[in-house]
């Protein structure tokens, strides 16, 4: 397993683990297991790097298993040298490396293979970047390392209790008086070795297996001392884990724990009410809390920058609202705009949590904006994997298909990377899904709804519930369960009261706020709403669950573990790994822009031993596949006789469409499948790409009279290269002032959507966007299909996919510098090439027209400026990361805003 993920858990915000590798620290004749990592952060002078070395307690490595022992800044005295050692010349031997810096000299042995080679390449690149930067002068570029150096200097290096949420977050995770921080139990490396030496190994020595003393840890994994593993730890440990999972029934038993799962849409209100009536209503304190919020913050700053002043106050409110008869630790917090999820666990259970990870998925416009979407936290509790999801799906009664789409997008895109292969939501033993799912009551009048509520005939109302209907049709939440709903609808109320909505819209009451579950041994104890809390137009909801968790019996675990190790030793001494592939030549037909296609091949272990496979980079290439191709999983382990499905997906997006349209790239690739201890296999991937106006340049489109699919490929390549063919029959017409595709989209919105609420903020439907794309690529339609939101999102996607933005890259910095003075902005635009200037003029004229209808469409000029600023003004791709900050985003928006509020005729 790649140790980069566990290292990343321990870093502060803004710091990135660039590369990491398993290693042995050589001290005389002794070799000690270590993890070496290169960590990067951004400073005022550019990228800044540090070399980190961690002690490990077990394999596969988890964040809580790493102990920081060495930090060396990558600066002028830092050097890396591969040692010329004749004893290591044998192919497959470890690579001896000397690392020097800050007065330290370390000798490491890196396992032979591509991962170690990539790590050394990353170190050399970091040295090169440092030497190319200007002198730091007074600025201290390595100040960010001081907190780590202090820890290694003042702490027992063999035993530091790392938090799983970042080193800076250790203090922030302390949850007021009566609560403890989320530190995993720590066992020092020396203590572990001592403990291992005292274990009774039974007859392991007598049978000649060579089994070394081990310290068996929680979660079905074990740490190794000495050379127990014949293969490198990163290879054999996951295989051991797979064997252990097959034998899980022999060393685990079910124990029931009570879990509270709650959700509340707080409508952007401050935390002015005590939450005890929601969180601490029962006499028995839960073992674990999962608390989800939606619309935590409705401000523009939250929407655009994911920055919220409300987060801290609501975290405090939850902390003070937890059950007073137990002590809790905060496990993790994750927030995306207004969606926030918190997980707390009783202090005595904290040591049994591991593999904690949080992820987010935005399903707002262009699949980026986080006003809708989901956040999730996953963890292992004892030997059971949990995934908690909090989501806010699309609003309005008629948009149930968009809610279904949001759910599908969250499931498809939510991925947890601490394990190999990565986990998705549905790959967990237990899934709890909370949130404002926004499903409404259909085909029933509001008067009848209220009458049935008065009679408490909730079962009759449930026949009109969109979520129940969609679940029954298996369109969403397949295999999920929901407890019986025996409480009145949770939406919509007049804030501060228990009165139904009396606003002009007079919303029909509905159960928007839900708690669903999936998994074995999960039973709902009580499902209810909490009407005592009145500050929002929603009521909070909670469900208590009794969940059977697989708890490890340590003695049985040790016995099974030793049996597995002896079995593996015997097999590895007698057999070599071998596999067969179901297909080695894949052909994809008619690949279109933003329309993924998938094919699956199977790898079957035809040998007698477990084996590891991995797709590896070809010579002189940095990635194992081209950017339009995705392979899942790219790394895996297969037991003898088992087959493993590998999914290959071709997906052409804004980053790859331009090169395919211009002929610079083609849908052809060869994958190298490496079998550890065996041979390499080759898989050929080919596809036919259908050219699209999406990803084509403004200049090329202005030189096309007809649709792009009628243009010969050779002609298209010439147009993208800026050299139209002299013999083309289209040369007789003058170029178009702007691409006809932009005109069609904007003209449709001008005619049909000037008064549409939430335009350019609410996403469209995938199916309609694909229909619009085909319509633009194949002809000049009389009308554009789809709802206004789909057309609006299509326009944004078109602008986002341009190889050269509307304001060309060369003018980007000048535009930012002049953004506060309209006369300078106008002067700059006069220098932009004609076709780009025409498009800019046309789009800003449309925005000015749109803002004339603010009373109807509720569009805010600054919000529109933010959205279009990020599309019309872009830095070069290699500078995008450095330019991605709030200050730059505001300057881009200010530039566009100037043309929204001032007359401009180009």
Q: Which residues contact 125 (CB under 8 A, 6 or more apart)?
A: none
CA quadruple 555, 561, 564, 566: dihedral positive or negative? negative
Domain termination residue (choose one: 534, 552, 570): 552
In a domain, 712, yes or no: no
CB 154 within 8 A of CB 172: no
The per-residue pLDDT for 135 is 53
| Highest averaged pLDDT of the listed ranges 40-44, 298-302, 478-482 | 478-482
Backbone angles phi, psi at 157, to 5 degrees: -65, -20
Asked if residue 851 and residue 750 are part of one domain, the reply reads yes
CB 403 within 8 A of CB 411: no
The per-residue pLDDT for 872 is 96
The per-residue pLDDT for 714 is 84
Mean pLDDT of 805-825: 95
The per-residue pLDDT for 1 is 63
Query: Which run of H or of E encompasses 32?
Result: strand 30-43
Q: What is the CATH number for 537?
A: 3.60.10.10
Higher pLDDT, 671 or 112: 671
Q: Helix, strand or coil for residue 514?
A: strand
Dig out the tokens for 580 from the structure: 């067969």
The per-residue pLDDT for 200 is 31
CB 441 within 8 A of CB 464: yes
Asked if residue 750 and residue 657 are part of one domain, the reply reads no
Q: Which of 18, 24, 11 is nearest to 118 (CA)?
A: 18
Higher pLDDT, 310 or 294: 294
Dig out the tokens for 68 from the structure: 């920081």
In a domain, 678, yes or no: yes
CB 117 within 8 A of CB 19: no
The domain in which residue 18 lies consists of: 4-154
CB 457 within 8 A of CB 465: no
In a domain, 161, yes or no: no
Max alpha carbon distance in the chain (Å)?
91
Strands (DSSP E) found in 155-203:
none
Buried b (16+ CB within 10 A) or exposed e, 47-64: bbbbbbbbbbbbbbbbbb
Dig out the tokens for 589 from the structure: 């037909």
CB 407 within 8 A of CB 426: no
Query: Which run of H or of E encompasses 244?
Result: helix 233-246
Query: Which run of H or of E encompasses 239?
Result: helix 233-246
CB 771 within 8 A of CB 750: no
Asked if residue 420 and residue 334 are part of one domain, the reply reads yes
Asked if residue 619 and residue 535 are part of one domain, the reply reads no
The per-residue pLDDT for 197 is 32
Using one digit for the tens of pLDDT, what is the confidence trace for 129-162? 887 765 544 345 788 888 887 766 554 433 333 3
In a domain, 241, yes or no: no
CB 400 within 8 A of CB 437: no
CA quadruple 710, 715, 717, 718: dihedral positive or negative? negative
Asked if residue 601 and residue 531 are part of one domain, the reply reads no
In a domain, 188, yes or no: no
Asked if residue 479 and residue 441 are part of one domain, the reply reads yes
Using one digit for the tens of pLDDT, what is the confidence trace for 214-251? 222 333 332 222 222 333 344 567 778 888 988 999 99
State the number of CA atoms in the 13 A half-sphere of 370 facing the CB. 28
Using one digit for the tens of pLDDT, what is the confidence trace for 754-769? 999 989 988 999 999 9
Confidence of residue 417 (pLDDT cuts 50, 70, 90): confident
Backbone angles phi, psi at 322, to 5 degrees: -65, 160
The alpha helices in 417-553, defined as continuous H runs, are 446-454, 458-462, 466-472
The per-residue pLDDT for 201 is 27
Q: What is the CATH number for 78?
A: 2.30.29.110
Cis peptide bond prior to 421, omega within 30° of 0: yes
Q: What is the CATH number for 622?
A: 2.60.40.10
Q: What is the CATH number for 798?
A: 1.10.555.10
Other Cβ atoms within 10 Å of 680 Cβ, number: 9
Total residue count of the chain as it appears in this document: 906
Cis peptide bond prior to 492, omega within 30° of 0: yes
Distance (Å, rounded) from C-alpha 476 to C-alpha 400?
A: 11
In a domain, 672, yes or no: yes
Which own/partner contact pairs does 144-149 have at CB distance under 8 Å and 24+ positions apart?
144/12, 144/15, 144/41, 144/43, 144/48, 144/50, 145/50, 145/71, 145/73, 148/50, 148/52, 148/68, 148/71, 149/71
- Residue-by-residue DSSP string for 84-141: --GGG-STT--EEEEEEETTEEEEEEEPSSHHHHHHHHHHHHHHHHHHHSPP-TTS-T
Q: Number of structural domains, the chain? A: 4
| Highest averaged pLDDT of the listed ranges 312-326, 703-717, 770-784 | 312-326
According to DSSP, the β-strands at 79-82 and 597-605 are: unpaired
Asked if residue 373 and residue 514 are part of one domain, the reply reads yes
Q: Helix, strand or coil for residue 292?
A: strand
Mean pLDDT of 313-322: 96
Higher pLDDT, 58 or 37: 37
Asked if residue 617 and residue 473 are part of one domain, the reply reads no
Asked if residue 753 and residue 616 are part of one domain, the reply reads no
State the number of CA atoms in the 13 A half-sphere of 42 facing the CB. 8
Asked if residue 502 and residue 369 are part of one domain, the reply reads yes
Distance (Å, rounded) from C-alpha 294 to C-alpha 306?
A: 13
Confidence of residue 202 (pLDDT cuts 50, 70, 90): very low
CB 900 within 8 A of CB 844: yes
Provide the β-strand partners of residue 697. none
Domain termination residue (choose one: 113, 136, 154): 154
Q: Which of 595, 586, 603 is nearest to 668 (CA)?
A: 586
Asked if residue 339 and residue 291 are part of one domain, the reply reads yes
Asked if residue 511 and residue 405 are part of one domain, the reply reads yes
Domain termination residue (choose one: 154, 177, 195): 154
């Amino acid at each position: 397993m790649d140790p980069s993920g566990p290292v990343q858990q321990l870093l502060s915000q803004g710091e990135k683990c660039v590369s990491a590798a398993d290693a042995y620290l050589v001290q005389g004749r002794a070799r000690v297991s270590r993890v070496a990592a290169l960590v990067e952060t951004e400073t005022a002078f550019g990228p800044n790097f540090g070399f980190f070395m961690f002690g490990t307690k077990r394999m596969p490595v988890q964040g809580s298993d790493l102990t920081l022992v060495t930090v060396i800044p990558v600066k002028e005295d830092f050097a890396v040298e591969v040692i010329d050692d004749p004893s290591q010349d044998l192919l497959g031997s470890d690579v001896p490396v000397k690392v020097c810096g800050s007065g330290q000299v370390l000798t490491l042995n890196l396992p032979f293979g591509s991962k170690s080679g990539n790590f050394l390449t990353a170190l050399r690149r970091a040295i090169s970047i440092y030497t190319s930067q200007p002198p730091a002068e007074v600025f201290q570029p390595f100040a960010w390392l001081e907190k780590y150096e202090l820890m290694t200097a003042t702490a027992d290096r063999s035993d530091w209790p790392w938090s799983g949420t970042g080193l800076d977050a250790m203090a922030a995770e302390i949850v007021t008086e009566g609560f403890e921080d989320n530190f995993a139990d720590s066992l020092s490396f020396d203590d572990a070795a001592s403990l291992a030496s005292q274990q009774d190994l039974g007859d392991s020595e007598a049978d000649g297996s060579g089994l070394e003393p081990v310290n068996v840890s929680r979660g079905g994994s074990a740490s190794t001392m000495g050379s127990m593993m014949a293969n490198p730890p990163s290879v054999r440990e996951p295989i051991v884990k797979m064997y252990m999972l097959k034998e899980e029934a022999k060393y685990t038993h079910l124990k029931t724990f009570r879990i509270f799962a709650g959700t509340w849409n707080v409508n952007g209100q401050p935390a002015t009410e005590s939450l005890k009536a929601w969180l601490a209503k029962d006499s028995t304190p839960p073992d674990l809390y999962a608390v989800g919020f939606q619309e935590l913050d409705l401000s523009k700053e939250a929407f655009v920058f994911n920055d919220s002043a409300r987060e801290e106050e609501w975290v405090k409110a939850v902390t003070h609202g937890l059950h007073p008869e137990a002590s809790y630790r905060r496990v993790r917090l994750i927030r995306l705009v207004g969606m926030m999820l918190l997980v707390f666990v009783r202090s005595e259970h904290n040591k049994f949590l591991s593999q904690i990870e949080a992820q987010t998925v935005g399903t707002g416009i262009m699949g980026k904006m986080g006003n809708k979407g989901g956040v999730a936290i996953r963890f292992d509790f004892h030997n059971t994997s949990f995934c908690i999801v909090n989501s806010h799906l699309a609003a309005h009664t008629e948009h149930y298909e968009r809610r279904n789409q949001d759910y599908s997008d969250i499931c498809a895109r939510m991925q947890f990377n601490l394990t190999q292969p990565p986990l998705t939501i549905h790959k967990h033993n237990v899934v709890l899904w909370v949130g404002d799912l926004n499903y409404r009551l259909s085909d029933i009048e509001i008067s009848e709804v209220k009458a049935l509520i008065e009679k408490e005939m909730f079962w009759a109302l449930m026949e009109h519930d969109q979520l129940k209907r969609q679940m029954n049709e298996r369109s969403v939440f397949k295999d999920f369960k929901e407890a019986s709903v025996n409480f009145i609808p949770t939406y919509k109320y007049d804030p501060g009261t228990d009165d139904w909505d009396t606003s002009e819209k007079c919303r029909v009451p509905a159960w928007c706020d839900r708690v669903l579950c999936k998994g074995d041994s999960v039973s709902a104890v009580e499902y209810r709403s909490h009407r005592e809390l009145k500050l929002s137009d929603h009521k909070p909801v909670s469900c208590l669950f009794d969940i059977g968790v697989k708890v490890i019996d340590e003695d049985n675990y040790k016995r099974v573990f030793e049996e597995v190790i002896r079995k593996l030793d015997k097999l590895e001494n007698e057999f070599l790994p071998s596999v067969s592939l179901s297909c080695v030549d894949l052909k994809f037909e008619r690949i279109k822009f933003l329309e993924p296609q998938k094919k699956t091949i199977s790898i079957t272990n035809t040998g007698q031993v477990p084996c590891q496979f991995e797709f590896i980079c070809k010579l002189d290439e940095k990635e194992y596949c081209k950017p339009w191709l995705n392979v899942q999983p790219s790394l895996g382990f297969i037991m003898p006789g088992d087959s493993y499905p590998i999914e290959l997906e071709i997906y052409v997006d804004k980053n790859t469409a331009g090169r395919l349209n211009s002929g610079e790239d083609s849908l052809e690739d060869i994958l190298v499948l490496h079998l550890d201890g065996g041979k390499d296999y080759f898989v050929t991937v080919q596809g036919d790409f259908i050219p699209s106006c999406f990803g084509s340049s403004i200049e090329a489109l202005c030189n096309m009279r007809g649709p792009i699919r009628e243009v010969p490929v050779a002609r298209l390549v010439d147009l993208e290269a800026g050299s139209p063919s002299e013999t083309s029959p289209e040369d007789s017409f003058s170029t178009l002032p702007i691409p006809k595709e932009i005109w069609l989209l904007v003209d449709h919105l001008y005619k049909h959507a000037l008064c549409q609420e939430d335009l350019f903020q609410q996403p469209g439907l995938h199916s309609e966007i694909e229909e619009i794309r085909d319509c633009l690529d194949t002809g000049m339609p009389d009308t554009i299909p789809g709802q206004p939101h789909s057309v609006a999102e299509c326009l944004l996607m078109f602008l986002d996919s341009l190889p050269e933005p509307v304001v060309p890259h060369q003018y980007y910095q000048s535009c930012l510098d002049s953004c506060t003075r309209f006369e300078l902005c106008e002067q700059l635009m006069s220098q932009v090439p004609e076709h780009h200037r025409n498009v800019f003029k046309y789009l800003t004229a449309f925005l000015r027209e749109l803002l004339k209808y603010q009373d109807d469409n509720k569009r805010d000029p600054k919000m529109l400026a933010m959205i279009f600023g990020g599309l019309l003004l872009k830095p070069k791709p290699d500078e995008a990361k450095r330019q991605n900050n709030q200050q730059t985003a505001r300057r881009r928006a200010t530039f566009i805003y100037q043309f929204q509020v001032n007359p401009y005729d180009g």
